[in-house]
Amino acid sequence: MSEKPTLETMSCLIVQVCKAHRNQAAVVLAELGLHPGQEILLFHLWENDGLIQSELASLMQVEAPTITKMIHRMEKAGLLERRKDEEDGRICRIYLTMKGRSLQEPVTCAWNLQEKRILANLTLEERLLFRRLLLQVLNNLS
């Protein structure tokens, strides 16, 4: 059985798709003063403000130093603030500032536009199948 050349594999195609997605997102996010990945952190806080760093790292599937650097950068930009937990002073919770909250609509609109680009020219059946296949691939990798 002959193997496909590396550049023709699904893995290579996934990498290309991820890079293209990230590059397009980076342009739109930069207009909003964000770096790629920061919008995901914001999505989590818009849904559940006041998470701790370890919860955010787990939800975003990143290492602790990555989330620490991201929070520091976003705090410096005035999007987030760290506050001591009222019940346990050893715990620091991450909260959105007004500036962070104000980005919800523009970031969500940008995310929805990106979604439309990704799914352009796919029928509803193809979209449903694509989602199911992506979830299966994700499950295979977990």
CATH number of the domain that 66 lies in?
Answer: 1.10.10.10
Strands laid side by side in the 92-96 sheet: 51-52, 92-96, 80-84
3-class DSSP assignment, residue 36: coil
> Does residue 31 belong to any structural domain of this protein?
yes
> Does residue 136 belong to any structural domain of this protein?
no
> Does residue 47 belong to any structural domain of this protein?
yes
> Whole domain around residue 50: which residue ranges?
16-112
> Does residue 62 belong to any structural domain of this protein?
yes
**pLDDT tens sequence across 43-56:** 999 999 999 999 99
pTM: 0.85
Asked if residues 96 and 49 have their Cβ atoms less than 8 Å apart, the reply is yes
> Does residue 2 belong to any structural domain of this protein?
no
> Does residue 120 belong to any structural domain of this protein?
no
Burial of 45 (0-12, 13-18, 19+ CB in 10 A): buried
> Does residue 132 belong to any structural domain of this protein?
no
Question: Considering its fold, how many domains does the chain have in total?
Answer: 1
Structure tokens at 68: 């620490």
Per-residue pLDDT of the chain (142 residues; tens, 9 = 90+): 567 778 788 999 999 999 999 999 999 999 999 999 999 999 999 999 999 999 999 999 999 999 999 999 999 999 999 999 888 888 999 999 999 999 999 999 999 999 999 999 999 999 999 999 999 999 999 8
> Does residue 118 belong to any structural domain of this protein?
no
